[in-house]
């Protein structure tokens, strides 16, 4: 179901700069992973693409966080992917693999890549959803609930590959969709949909940089504008915005960490 307009007071943490954001994000991932493994002996996470999260992934691949993560009980999915092969410079999998996955002892079978190179994009999206429901052991029609979904946000308010005006914003059933995003660098995309994102236990936006300040303000103050990121409203989960000072510059009061 599409999210309702954004909660006027989402949980927000503002840190000094991108390096502090990566530190805070990586530590939060370890905390959520530790709690999930304690409770359910497994941690399921969907990684964000783009540039912002790369430093967070690098922190998780380095000591001391590398040793604190329960890699053996961690399952990694991707919140979206571009329609390219896994070794393509624009592949989200390639970025995460270089920054994190190739450097940590996560069992290969526990990393589920979206086959961006597939000829039949619809079939690849459906296959990804099938793998996901298998890993989660979801019953038919039941949506997997990720322990954590990491998201970024573009200057147009897109998140994952949910772009303004896209028909996929109205998707109410499928958890994963193949989309054509004309405005995107690589138009063929694959994305988690709102039903899946809003079923998560935790959703954390990682947003840094002054170029995002205007859209951050719009998402926080104009819920009716229908920006894709503001339609992320976990049904029962917890939504957190992790911003650096530059991205939060137009929000008025700033709470530093």
Please tell me the distance from the alpha carbon of residue 66 to that of residue 59, in angstroms, as a whole number: 8
Contact call for residue 48 and ligand 6PG (CB under 6 A): yes
How far CA 252 is from CA of 3, 84, 246, in Å, comes to: 25, 40, 12
Token pair of 126 as six digits: 């459906």
- Integer Rg of the chain from CA: 17
* Residue 91 vs 233, nearer CB to ligand 6PG: 91
Residue whose CB is less far from ligand 6PG, 50 or 70: 50
Closest CA to 216 of 181, 185, 252: 252
Q: Which is nearer to ligand 6PG, 75 or 78 (CB)?
A: 78
Choice from 13, 52, 55, 198 touching ligand 6PG (CB under 6 A): 52
Please select the residue that binds ligand 6PG; options are 18, 49, 157, 237, rule is CB under 6 A: 49
In the shown chain, the binding pattern of residues 142 to 171 toward ligand 6PG, with x for contact by CB under 6 A and - for none, equals ----------xxx---xxxx----------
Structure tokens given for 182:
């004309």
Residue 64, preceding peptide bond in cis (omega within 30° of 0)? yes
Q: Which of 91, 92, 198, 240 binds ligand 6PG (CB under 6 A)?
A: 92
Q: Tokens 């019953």 — which residue?
A: 139
> Where do contacts with ligand 6PG occur on this chain (CB under 6 A)?
48-52, 80, 92, 152-154, 158-161
């Amino acid at each position: 179901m599409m999210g309702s307009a954004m909660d006027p007071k989402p949980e927000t943490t503002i840190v000094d700069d991108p390096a502090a954001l990566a530190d805070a994000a990586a530590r939060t991932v370890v905390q959520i992973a530790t709690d999930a493994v304690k409770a359910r002996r497994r941690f399921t996470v969907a990684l964000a693409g783009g540039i912002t999260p790369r430093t967070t992934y690098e922190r998780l691949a380095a000591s001391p966080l590398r040793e604190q993560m329960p890699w053996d009980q961690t399952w990694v999915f991707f919140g979206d992917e571009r329609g390219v092969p896994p070794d393509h410079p624009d592949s989200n999998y390639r970025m995460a693999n270089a920054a994190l996955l190739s450097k940590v002892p996560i069992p290969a079978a526990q990393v589920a890549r979206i086959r961006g190179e597939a000829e039949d994009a619809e079939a690849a999206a459906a296959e990804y959803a099938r793998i996901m429901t298998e890993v989660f052991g979801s019953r038919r029609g039941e949506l997997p609930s990720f322990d954590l979904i990491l998201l970024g946000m573009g200057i147009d308010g897109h998140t994952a590959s949910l772009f303004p005006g896209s028909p996929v914003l109205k998707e109410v059933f499928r958890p994963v969709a193949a989309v054509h995003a004309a405005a995107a660098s690589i138009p063929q995309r694959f994305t988690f949909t709102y039903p899946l994102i809003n079923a998560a236990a935790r959703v954390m936006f990682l947003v840094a940089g002054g170029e995002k300040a205007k859209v951050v303000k719009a998402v926080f103050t104009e819920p009716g504008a229908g920006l894709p990121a503001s339609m992320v409203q976990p049904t029962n989960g917890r939504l957190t915005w992790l911003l650096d000072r530059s991205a939060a510059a137009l929000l008025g009061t700033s709470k530093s960490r």
